[in-house]
């Protein structure tokens, strides 16, 4: 099932997306999509609504250097244990919303295409073998990063924490085996990143066990699983797309901050 959030101009709601590409429609859900779903009966062609971020997470926990080739392109070795960091909830945007380039503060803003996991249950200290029970679904994400500030600060919070620096979407796919999916990032149609999720150094059950040994996750929280090699810069006007097999494609345009 594909769960989206959308606006019709009369407020924002969750909905279920059905139909083939280019012919999708969206059926509105009463309330939130955790637990049994109740439809309101309202149904719209997807092209007539505006998608927004498919979830408003209380927190986004991301994983650094979780593909070996990317760890090396960043000038280091992959870490033995997952390296986690946070992105603020205010950085989240949806498919079709603009990534705002803060030129006053950064001269190098990079894309990082990633598979994202959306949590479905309040959980802590989840064993690896039960991690699947707390997963609601999967979506595409772009861990947008001011690379110059990441290097300058040491801590990554500022570089990765700007408003609009966490596009997720276009929707959450709830039925998917994430073990070996093709993931690509394109900028203006040019292929920049291409990998498979089977190359993740620490797989999703390991990440969930590792993170929930530290902190409680709540429904809607998002885990970004790391980016493959091929990260590179964005410029004003660029259109960046993260596509994942079995999910769909997340596209965002880059605009300068006023």
Residues of this chain that interact with a copy of itself (CB under 8 A) are 58-59, 61, 64, 83-86, 88-91, 102, 104-105, 124, 153-158, 161-163, 213-218
Q: With respect to a copy of itself, which residue has the nearer C-beta, 188 or 216?
A: 216
CA 223 – CA 219 distance, rounded (Å): 12
CA 258 – CA 254 distance, rounded (Å): 12
Q: With respect to a copy of itself, which residue has the nearer C-beta, 38 or 216?
A: 216
Q: With respect to a copy of itself, which residue has the nearer C-beta, 29 or 55?
A: 55
Q: How far is the CB of 120 from a copy of itself (least distance, A)?
A: 16
Q: How far is the CB of 21 from a copy of itself (least distance, A)?
A: 34
Q: How far is the CB of 61 from a copy of itself (least distance, A)?
A: 8
Q: With respect to a copy of itself, which residue has the nearer C-beta, 183 or 231?
A: 231
Q: How far is the CB of 118 from a copy of itself (least distance, A)?
A: 16
Q: With respect to a copy of itself, which residue has the nearer C-beta, 28 or 147?
A: 147
Confirm if 33 and 171 have CB atoms less than 8 A apart. no
Q: How far is the CB of 139 from a copy of itself (least distance, A)?
A: 20
Q: How far is the CB of 224 from a copy of itself (least distance, A)?
A: 12
Q: With respect to a copy of itself, which residue has the nearer C-beta, 65 or 95?
A: 65
């Amino acid at each position: 099932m594909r769960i989206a959030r959308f606006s019709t101009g009369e407020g924002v709601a969750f909905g279920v997306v059905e139909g083939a590409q280019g012919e999708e429609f969206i059926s509105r859900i009463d309330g939130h999509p955790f637990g049994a779903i109740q439809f309101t009966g309202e149904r719209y062609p997807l092209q007539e609504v505006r998608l927004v971020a498919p979830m408003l997470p209380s927190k986004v926990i991301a994983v650094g250097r979780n593909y070996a080739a990317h760890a090396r392109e960043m000038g280091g070795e992959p870490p033995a244990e997952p390296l986690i960091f946070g992105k603020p909830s205010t950085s989240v945007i949806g498919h079709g919303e603009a990534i705002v380039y803060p030129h006053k503060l950064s001269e190098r803003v990079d894309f990082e295409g990633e598979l994202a996991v959306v949590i479905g249950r309040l959980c802590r200290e989840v064993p690896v073998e039960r991690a699947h029970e707390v997963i609601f679904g999967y979506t595409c994400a772009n861990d947008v990063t001011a690379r110059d500030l990441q290097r300058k600060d040491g801590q990554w919070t500022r570089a990765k924490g700007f408003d609009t620096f966490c596009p997720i979407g276009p929707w959450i796919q709830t039925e998917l085996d994430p073990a070996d999916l093709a993931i690509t990032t394109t900028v203006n149609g040019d292929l920049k990143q291409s990998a498979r999720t089977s190359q993740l150094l620490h797989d999703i059950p390991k990440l969930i066990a590792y993170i929930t040994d530290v902190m409680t996750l709540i429904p809607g929280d998002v885990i970004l699983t790391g980016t493959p090699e091929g990260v590179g810069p964005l410029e004003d006007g660029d259109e960046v797309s993260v596509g994942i097999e079995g999910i769909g494609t997340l596209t965002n345009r880059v605009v300068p901050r006023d």
